[in-house]
Amino acid sequence: MNDSELARRISICASSQDWPAIKSYLDELQPETAFVFLRVLGERLPIEADLEAAIADASDVPGLIVAGAALMMRATRIRGMDIADMVEAQNWEPYFVYHQQAERLLCAAVTAQPGNGLAAAWLMAATVDSDDELKAEVCRLLMQATQVPLSGYSKLLSAMTKKWGGSHEAMWRVARECANLNLPWSGALIAKAHYEQWLYLDLMDERPAAQSEADRYFRDPAIRNELLAISSAIDAAHGDDPYEAVYAHDVLAAVLAEAKERKIATRHLRRVGKFGDPALLTGGPWWRSMLIRLIKGLPPW
């Protein structure tokens, strides 16, 4: 599978809305490739697409996943990716309606097939900002599932961050546990955890010392050495799912750009291809242009 083939399939599926064919194709894909396929398909489907038609009956787990993921992406498209204060007031109600519909369908998929890693990953994406009890249950389901996309573990890590009501300790526990699953590119989760801790210090921590700690964070020799070791391991990794590699290079490009390792960051960015996730770390559509500016040594904006 390469970007051109995936793009061709997504274009056909978005225009045809042939749900049986979409579900059949989804079944052929490796976990992270399937996650990326659903994310991009959800971005390309007409906003008025009849997603309920994807579900043949209450036991149709692939249909529930396809419709749930597409509803998540529809909600995201309506809300936009700005901070909450900049979201237009009229967009909140449809955003919450579609988000809740997505959560309901994905819960049904996981209930019908608890070990389904793709369903658990999308449900994790839907519950990053949920209450602690629901989040804990989804985390448990994700860790017990099989064939989990790397993005599913990434969403789990996000759910544990301090900015989403968790703690640095909980985030690092999840990052280390997931990195020890022996997935070829799972070291990227450690890099993401470093980014999340730095980001909290830089933008959210109100302590007087926080900004100076953020400024020094990536200069710590132990942190730099760990990131450079992860970078080398990711460059050398081999696996069956090409979009796990895309995820890993996406993360490393951003983190190493912030660490001012611009030459290495550029190398990772060139391996991301067409389907890197612009909201992977920053939550903003401006991420890619900001990253390129950082790599070039320019101010980020």
pLDDT of residue 112: 95
73 touches 51 (CB < 8 A): no
Q: What radius of gyration do the chain's Cα atoms show?
A: 19
DSSP character for 86?
A: G
Distance CA 100, CA 81 (A): 18
**Among candidates 134, 130, 104, 99, which has minimal Cα distance to 119?**
104
Q: Give the pLDDT of residue 283.
A: 40
Q: Say which residue, 270 or 224, is predicted with more confidence.
A: 224
Backbone torsions φ then ψ of 284, nearest 5 degrees: -135, 145
**Residue that is written with structure tokens 């996730």 in the block:** 277
d(CA 77, CA 173) in angstroms, rounded, equals: 32
Q: Please say if the pLDDT value at position 173 is more than 70.
A: yes
Q: What is the pLDDT of residues 80-108, one digit of tens each?
A: 666 666 667 777 788 889 999 999 999 99
Residue 280 reports pLDDT greater than 80: no
Q: Are 153 and 186 in contact (CB under 8 A)?
A: yes
More confident residue, 47 or 83: 47
Partners of 146 in the β-ladder? 116
Q: Which of 25-29, 135-139, 233-237 has the lowest mean pLDDT?
A: 135-139
Tracing tokens 């996943």 back to the chain, one arrives at 65
Please give the pLDDT value at position 122: 97
CB 122 within 8 Å of CB 69:
yes
Write the CA distances from 230 to 89, 183, 190, 264, integer angstroms.
42, 13, 8, 12
- By the 8 A CB rule, do 45 and 70 touch? yes
Look at residue 301 in the predicted model and tell me its pLDDT. 45
Q: How far apart are CA 248 and CA 271, in angstroms?
A: 10
Return the bridge partners of 201, or none. Answer: none
> What per-residue string of b and e applies to 165-182 under the rule 16 or more CB within 10 Å gives b?
ebeeebbbebbeebbeee
pLDDT on residue 115: 94
Q: How confident is the model at residue 165 (pLDDT cuts 50, 70, 90)?
A: confident
Give pLDDT, residue 295.
58
Q: What is the value of pTM for the model shown?
A: 0.90
Lowest average pLDDT, out of 73-77, 123-127, 287-291, goes to 287-291
pLDDT confidence band for 179 (50 / 70 / 90)? confident
The whole-angstrom separation of Cα 222 and Cα 197 is 15
The confidence band for 208, taking pLDDT boundaries of 50, 70 and 90, is very high
Per-residue pLDDT averaged across 118-133, rounded? 90
Mean pLDDT over the full length of the chain: 89
- Predicted confidence (pLDDT) at residue 284 exceeds the cutoff of 50: no
pLDDT for 236 equals 95
Distance of alpha carbon 239 from the chain centroid: 19
Helices (H), 127-186: 132-144, 150-160, 168-179
Q: Is 79:91 a contact under the CB 8 Å cutoff?
A: yes
Secondary structure (3-state) at 258: helix
- Between 77 and 229, name the one with better pLDDT: 229
At residue 285 the predicted structure's pLDDT band, cuts being 50, 70 and 90, is very low
DSSP sequence for 191-234 = HHHHHHHHHIIIII--STTHHHHHHHHTT-HHHHHHHHHHHHHH
At residue 206, the pLDDT reads: 92
* Structure letter (DSSP) for residue 162: G
